[in-house]
Amino acid sequence: MTHTTDCLIIGSGAAGLTLALGLAQKAKVIVLSKSDVCAGSTFYAQGGIAGVYNIKDDQDSIEAHIKDTCIAGANLCELSSVRFVAQNAKNSIQWLIDMGVPFDTKEEDTQKEQSPYHLHREGGHSHRRIFHSEDHTGRSIQETLVQRARENPNITILENYNAIDLITTTKLQMAGNKVLGAYVLNTKTDKVEKIVAKFVALCTGGASKVYQYTCNPEVSSGDGIAMAWRAGCRVANMEFNQFHPTTLYSELDRNFLLTEALRGEGAYLVRKDGTRFMQDYDERMELAPRDIVARAIDHEMKKTGSDCMYLSICHKDAEFIKKHFPTIYERCLKIGLDITKEPIPIVPAAHFTCGGVMVDKKAHTDIQDLYAIGEVAYTGLHGANRLASNSLLECVVYGHAAAVDILSRLDCTDLYDPNEIPDWDESQVTNSDEEVIITHNWHELRLTMWDYVGIVRTNKRLERAMHRIELLKKEVHEYYSNFKVSRNLLELRNLLTVSELIVRCAMMRHESVGLHYSLDYPNKLEHSGPTILKPCI
């Protein structure tokens, strides 16, 4: 089966839907979702979206937002990108408000203040500037944008479609390097289909699923990064994997993130005996950037031999906790934990990919007519560590920028003849009766990355990881060449590619900075920049 469209958007989170809605007045759009349309990371974002909304507010400024972002990013952010995002924050937030996102407002008796919105403060931020919808901001944004997209006749959402690879002129041995579409697996029929498009946008999110422990959803397997790399795009800063400091530690409920807004509202990080420890690591204590807090928790766990540390907000008023953190309160209550009365057991878990496919301020990649938006991309915004609640902002800002650029080029870009693009060839492959091999290799890879390429690294650990990755790549390549594709196989293939990119970047950085901490290179270099890898195709 062949589909044609003006723009194929691979990914259905905030980045993809922002782009789709920006294009739909003039263009036909297909939005591809690997699972349910709400299965991506956007839906699970709790904290909010950062931005200085009231420019006249003496308590905050765009320059302060820029400064906080650069400090959190260990001064490896690209200043022009940070400024671009911070300056476009207000318009992006206003667009979400216009779409109908129900951000929390202040109590009635404070409505005389300049802004009607209740703002959170999170780690690394010098001011309250986080717009939120209780503690389920991502869900509110996702559901609102999905509703708007479903109402638009120019947007087609294809759920349970897994992108396999990009179709480019290079792969078809033609001149230039232009994207023409993609091969995709319809997981409902197990048939590979072809989508031909004038433009393609990768909005597939990050790659935290390379790690054994992550608070990301199952779909975060680095698909867009891997596909772009195989097609010839550069990637950058893949060594900077953010571990969220506070993920619920419980056998009854795994992978549940506890928003940074808890610490912003006064929650303490404590040992089992109730004593605080962040004062031993950073003067900002619980409000230090995530890389610092995650390493502190990791160090305390190793030092004390504990399986976890604790996050306590029970010194706050119970009604305040229930009002501002209803999702967390109810979720913990289901496992017998009342956060108004007792501390929450927590551990760090892989959360965000700060590197990715290199793009410019219009979200262009190295391949003509191919865009990358959101966590899949390296924009220079995050540097060595992402500032809390800048991720959703990046999705919307670059989604709008890409939409403007595509619309300006829509009428002068031709759709390639679908008949000239070969269909997917399955004539040389058979159905596999050994799916257990994929499962085994999948678990081995994720445990290898957790053990050797985690919060603290060494040269020897990285070498061991690379050795295992190379062996697994050979096995999976043989499997991929002989059997029909499945979602698990495609994800494993992509995870192996991304894992290799992470390790290669980590090996290249001979310093400890931000999210990359090496016992062999404990100091930060005086001058350093992004780690860039260029594929050989």
Catalytic residue list: 290
Instruction: Confirm if 149 and 19 have CB atoms less than 8 A apart.
Output: no
Cα 51 to Cα 68, 220, 424, distances in angstroms: 12, 26, 45
DSSP string, 371-405: EE-GGGEE-SSSTTSPPTT-HHHHHHHHHHHHHHH
Q: What tokens does 396 get?
A: 């919307």
Q: What tokens does 525 get?
A: 């270099």
| CA distance linking residue 458 with residue 314, whole number of Å | 38
Cα 83 to Cα 66, 361, 367, distances in angstroms: 6, 11, 25
Cα 114 to Cα 98, 111, 130, 248, 306, distances in angstroms: 19, 8, 16, 37, 47
Cα 487 to Cα 206, 224, 422, 494, distances in angstroms: 17, 14, 22, 11
Q: Which amino acid, one-letter code, is at 449?
A: M
CA 331 to mean position of chain CA atoms: 23
Cα 389 to Cα 174, 382, 422, 522, distances in angstroms: 42, 11, 43, 28
Instruction: Confirm if 352 and 50 have CB atoms less than 8 A apart.
Output: no
Q: What tokens does 274 get?
A: 């109730």
What's phi and psi for 297, nearest 5 deg? -65, -45
Instruction: Confirm if 297 and 348 have CB atoms less than 8 A apart.
Output: yes
Strand pairing class (2-10; 29-33): parallel
| CA distance linking residue 101 with residue 227, whole number of Å | 32
